[in-house]
A and B are shown apart, each in its own frame.
Chain A
Amino acid sequence: MADDSLLIREAARQMLGATPGIDLVAICADGTELARTVEQHRPDVVVTDVRMPPGGDDEGVRFAIDARRIDPHMGVVLLTQYAEPSLGAALFEGGANGRAYLLKERIGDRAELRAAIEVVAGGGTVIDPAIVQQLLATPRSRRSDPLDELTSRELEILAEMAEGKSNAAIAQSLVLTKHAVEKHIGSIFQKLELGDEQDVSRRVAAVLVYLSKD
């Protein structure tokens, strides 16, 4: 775990330290310390602030992109203070596998945090619902917006998909059959011209890239 704010580090220590299934190995205060500690301990997942010294606004993203070279299986959860999708787009350009982009306050939601850590450890992708909401809520600049063609049900599924949920999880969340979910997803991909994609993280990446292309 890395964050440049003492308050956050303390709170995170208490939260993560008491979460079953998660073993908090180290807490760092800046990018340099983080790199050293990762080298030393080789954790499964790193939960880090996007913005911290020495790199400033991009430190966390840069770390996440570099980490893929060092340890391709290591997951990174990036915490941001801004609910701004475009700021995180750089993160996913390096590949969406094993990456999560959450608002910082998600640390306060034990279940969500743990879910994100576990998904990322397994190579999946998670995007904070608030950010997904941002992406979907707007009237957009393109004249004939394919998003308009999606039914409201399909939009819901799109949102859930962008949050990184598997088809089963979506089915459960929206109280649908898995078959129905798959059918809807197929229709969504067709309407958005995205091509069928079974790999969840690649799906999420595709959807995110599509959505943030304004």
Chain B
Amino acid sequence: MSRLVPTSVRTSVTWRVVAVLVVPLTVLSLWIGLTSENLQNSELGALYRTYHSSAPMVIGLFWWARRPASRMGPLLVAFGFMCWPLALVASTSPALFSIGVTMQSPTFVTMFLLILAFPSGRLRTRFEVAAFAGWYLIDVLAAGGNLLTYPGLLSLTPLGLCAAECPPNPFAMGSAREVVDLLGWVEFWYAVGAILGTLTLYLWRLARASRPLRRELITVGLTSSLFMIIVVIFYIGTLIISIPPETAAALSVLLILSRVLFPIGFLIALFQADYYALRAGGRLMRELAAGSSPERWRDSVSSAVDDPSLRLGFWEPATGRYREPSGAGLMAEPGRTWVPIERDGDPVAALSTDPALADEPELLEQVAEATLIAVVHGDLEGELRASRARLVEAGDAERRRIQRDLHDSAQQRLVALRIHLTLASERLERPEERAAIEGLGEEIDAALDDLRSVASTAYPPVLARMGVSAALRSVCRRSALPVMIIDAGLGRHPEAVENAIYFVSLEAIQNAAKHAGTAATVRVELGEDGEGVTFSIQDDGTGFEPGGAVRGQGLTNMADRLASVGGRLSIETMPGRGTRIVGRVPVVAGSVAHA
């Protein structure tokens, strides 16, 4: 099982502490809200405000466990903690109430932080960090100023409206109204700028994102911007311009709903990543089933994660390095994401990707597993072909041995015998005795012919000496087959390849002569191009039904023999139109041909 990152976070102490805290905090928040007499809609409000803190906490914990490398989880949890004091708005205690109200604006700022930090949980540029630091500073000053100067703070959020008069503010000390109001206005305009900046920055990132990330950015963008837009409209409507109460009520419902949706957007993004990762994995597996090569696999993976810069290397035990299909070495580099893929602790392959993909661990995991299977499968494929090739080679070696043995021993004996017979016949006086011996001599001549024929059927010497064309010509000549052989420039190739082409062609020719009818002529074309050898055997005989023919043992053998050298066989036939068998064998550049 390949593992990108250890899943030990779930058992980390911090996580467990937080998980344990969630329950009492939730209960406490609910209790405060439900027992309150301070506000209108206390039950609904209690649920709403508890949701503010518990939902991000739970979603944050979930995110934290699923993507341990991302700080988004802890950030969401922190946001949840920050939202908890909002529940205090329901308290009758003036102090707690005031704190609750004061916490509203910092949580508002933090929401924008969450949007921009998604999905890594970190702000990308110094500029963003500075901007948010400034915003928090101004907010603390403004809200703190309010807390210290205003005699009574008002709770104006939906489901948070005071039932009667809101409790007074016990923290109010001096009265520096002008300063505080100024701060308030500064914050207001800063916030406007910050919100617009967030929007722009977000859209820009969206445009530049890879496909997988873009989907998640859109989801979060939608859920968040919905809330933003409605907040803006709501506050402008209620604080700046006066809108009719029915509109205000409708807006507050919308506000509540969008606020509920806000943390869920992050959850949906996580499920999206899962879903698309599985889809990508499925697609890769289909491509694998259809057959792939190392180069094509790299391209498939690259398009699955939408990273054109992706590099794939396979482990080479001999050198202890990863090597790309092109032959270049592959190593982890700073500024790129490195994904090692292993099996039972042994390295198998590795990916070097755009650093943005570090935010898509589910996708990388799927792709890594698919690659692992591809490599294992590839090994199997290679092993299968190697064992087939060995079988064929053993068969060919046996043939050559038979041919050699026949020539070296049996034939020599018969030739010597023939000579001795002649010598013996010369010693005889009577013509009829001589004739008898001569008859025996002729038998031996016939035997020698047979021997030659059998030996060359097993393995024709011309094949090794002069190549496929000459060998085919020779055998057709000898068997008086009506074959026209056209050599369009077929060179020499490794023995196994030439053997395969020769024996497959011969079988095809013999089939044609047998089945295509007496009047048929057979046309054999041999040629090669830069990529490999192509040969075809065509007859204009009776042909056969393409689907109907049972794939005889002969055809299967031919296909197998070609496959053992990496070649493919195809057959085209129509009744009455003859048959055409085409074989193609790719040739590796630089392979050693016959000496």
A and B are partners in one complex rather than unrelated chains: yes
A: residues with CB less than 8 A from B are: 5, 7-8, 10-12, 14-15, 18, 57, 81-84, 86-87, 104-105, 107-110, 134-135, 137-141, 214
Kindly identify which residue among A12, A82, A138, A214 contacts B419, using a CB–CB cutoff of 8 Å: A12
Of residues 451 to 475 in B, which have CB atoms within 8 Å of A's CB atoms? 452, 456, 460-462, 465-466, 470, 473-474
Q: Which residues of B contact A15 (CB under 8 A)?
A: 419, 422-423
B243 to chain A, nearest CB (A): 96
* 26 residue pairs A–B, Cβ–Cβ below 8 Å: A5-B408, A7-B415, A8-B415, A10-B416, A11-B415, A14-B419, A14-B423, A15-B419, A18-B423, A57-B461, A57-B465, A83-B478, A84-B461, A86-B470, A87-B462, A105-B414, A105-B444, A107-B415, A110-B422, A137-B477, A138-B473, A138-B477, A138-B480, A139-B482, A139-B484, A214-B470
Q: Does B330 contact A (CB under 8 A)?
A: no
Q: Which residues of B contact A5 (CB under 8 A)?
A: 408, 412, 416
Q: A5-B412, A15-B423 are in contact. Are A86 and B474 (CB under 8 A)?
A: yes
Q: A86-B474, A137-B480, A214-B473 are in contact. Are A11 and B419 (CB under 8 A)?
A: yes
Q: Does B177 contact A (CB under 8 A)?
A: no
A81 to B465, CA, bound (A): 15
A18 to B412, CA, bound (A): 21
Q: Which residues of B contact A109 (CB under 8 A)?
A: 422
Look across to chain B and name the residue whose beta carbon is closest to the beta carbon of A135: B477
Q: Is there an interface contact between B416 and A11, defined as CB atoms closer than 8 Å?
A: yes
Look across to chain B and name the residue whose beta carbon is closest to the beta carbon of A80: B461
Q: Is the interface of B mostly helix, strand, loop or mixed?
A: helix
Q: Does B476 contact A (CB under 8 A)?
A: yes
A76 to chain B, nearest CB (A): 19
Of residues 393 to 427 in B, which have CB atoms within 8 Å of A's CB atoms? 407-408, 411-416, 418-423, 426
A87 to B471, CA, bound (A): 10
Q: A105-B415, A108-B415 are in contact. Are A87 and B421 (CB under 8 A)?
A: no
A49 to chain B, nearest CB (A): 10
A130 to chain B, nearest CB (A): 8
Known contacts A5-B416, A138-B477, then 11 further A-B pairs from the complex at CB < 8 Å, ordered by chain A residue: A5-B408, A7-B416, A11-B415, A12-B419, A86-B473, A104-B411, A105-B414, A109-B422, A134-B477, A138-B476, A141-B484
A207 to B478, CA, bound (A): 20
Q: Does B74 contact A (CB under 8 A)?
A: no
Most chain B CB inside 10 Å of its own CB: which residue of A10, A137, A141: A141
Kindly identify which residue among B420, B461, B473, B483 contacts A82, using a CB–CB cutoff of 8 Å: B461
Q: Does B263 contact A (CB under 8 A)?
A: no
B590 to chain A, nearest CB (A): 26
A137 to B479, CA, bound (A): 10
Q: Which residues of B contact A137 (CB under 8 A)?
A: 477, 480
Q: Which residues of A contact B419 (CB under 8 A)?
A: 8, 11-12, 14-15, 107-108
Look across to chain B and name the residue whose beta carbon is closest to the beta carbon of A58: B465
Q: Is there an interface contact between A87 and B461, defined as CB atoms closer than 8 Å?
A: yes
Look across to chain A and name the residue whose beta carbon is closest to the beta carbon of B422: A108
Q: A7-B413, A134-B478 are in contact. Are A82 and B485 (CB under 8 A)?
A: no
Q: Which residues of A contact B413 (CB under 8 A)?
A: 7
A109 to B438, CA, bound (A): 10
A8 to B482, CA, bound (A): 37
A214 to B469, CA, bound (A): 10
Q: Which residues of A contact B466 (CB under 8 A)?
A: 86-87
Q: Is there an interface contact between B418 and A105, defined as CB atoms closer than 8 Å?
A: yes
A9 to chain B, nearest CB (A): 9
A28 to B571, CA, bound (A): 54
B111 to chain A, nearest CB (A): 84
Q: Which residues of A contact B433 (CB under 8 A)?
A: none
A1 to chain B, nearest CB (A): 12
B439 to chain A, nearest CB (A): 14
Q: Does B183 contact A (CB under 8 A)?
A: no
A205 to chain B, nearest CB (A): 19
Most chain A CB inside 10 Å of its own CB: which residue of B415, B419, B448, B461: B419
Q: Which residues of B contact A139 (CB under 8 A)?
A: 480, 482-484
Most chain A CB inside 10 Å of its own CB: which residue of B416, B441, B466: B416
Look across to chain B and name the residue whose beta carbon is closest to the beta carbon of A110: B422
Q: Does B181 contact A (CB under 8 A)?
A: no
Q: Does B529 contact A (CB under 8 A)?
A: no
Q: Which residues of A contact B485 (CB under 8 A)?
A: 141, 214
Q: Which residues of A contact B423 (CB under 8 A)?
A: 11, 14-15, 18
A137 to B483, CA, bound (A): 12
Q: Does B486 contact A (CB under 8 A)?
A: yes
Q: Is there an interface contact between B456 and A82, defined as CB atoms closer than 8 Å?
A: yes
Q: Which residues of B contact A135 (CB under 8 A)?
A: 477
Q: Is there an interface contact between B448 and A105, defined as CB atoms closer than 8 Å?
A: yes
Q: Is there an interface contact between A14 and B420, defined as CB atoms closer than 8 Å?
A: yes
Q: Does B445 contact A (CB under 8 A)?
A: yes
Look across to chain A and name the residue whose beta carbon is closest to the beta carbon of B421: A108
Q: Which residues of A contact B461 (CB under 8 A)?
A: 57, 82, 84, 87
Q: A15-B423, A87-B461, A108-B421 are in contact. Are A81 and B483 (CB under 8 A)?
A: no
Kindly identify which residue among B418, B421, B462, B484 contacts A84, using a CB–CB cutoff of 8 Å: B462
A29 to B14, CA, bound (A): 92
Q: Is there an interface contact between B422 and A83, defined as CB atoms closer than 8 Å?
A: no
7 pairs of A and B residues whose beta carbons are closest in the complex: A108-B418, A11-B419, A7-B416, A138-B477, A11-B416, A108-B419, A5-B412
Q: Is there an interface contact between A86 and B421, defined as CB atoms closer than 8 Å?
A: no
A81 to B411, CA, bound (A): 8
A57 to B594, CA, bound (A): 14
Q: Is there an interface contact between A141 and B482, defined as CB atoms closer than 8 Å?
A: no
B393 to chain A, nearest CB (A): 21
B409 to chain A, nearest CB (A): 9
Look across to chain A and name the residue whose beta carbon is closest to the beta carbon of B475: A84
A137 to B478, CA, bound (A): 8
B495 to chain A, nearest CB (A): 15
Q: Is there an interface contact between A83 and B452, defined as CB atoms closer than 8 Å?
A: yes
Q: Which residues of A contact B486 (CB under 8 A)?
A: 141
Q: A57-B465, A109-B422 are in contact. Are A84 and B416 (CB under 8 A)?
A: no
A15 to B415, CA, bound (A): 12
B489 to chain A, nearest CB (A): 14
A107 to B411, CA, bound (A): 13
A104 to B473, CA, bound (A): 23
Q: Which residues of B contact A83 (CB under 8 A)?
A: 452, 478
Q: Which residues of B contact A138 (CB under 8 A)?
A: 473, 476-477, 480
Look across to chain B and name the residue whose beta carbon is closest to the beta carbon of A107: B419
A87 to B463, CA, bound (A): 10
Q: Is there an interface contact between A104 and B484, defined as CB atoms closer than 8 Å?
A: no
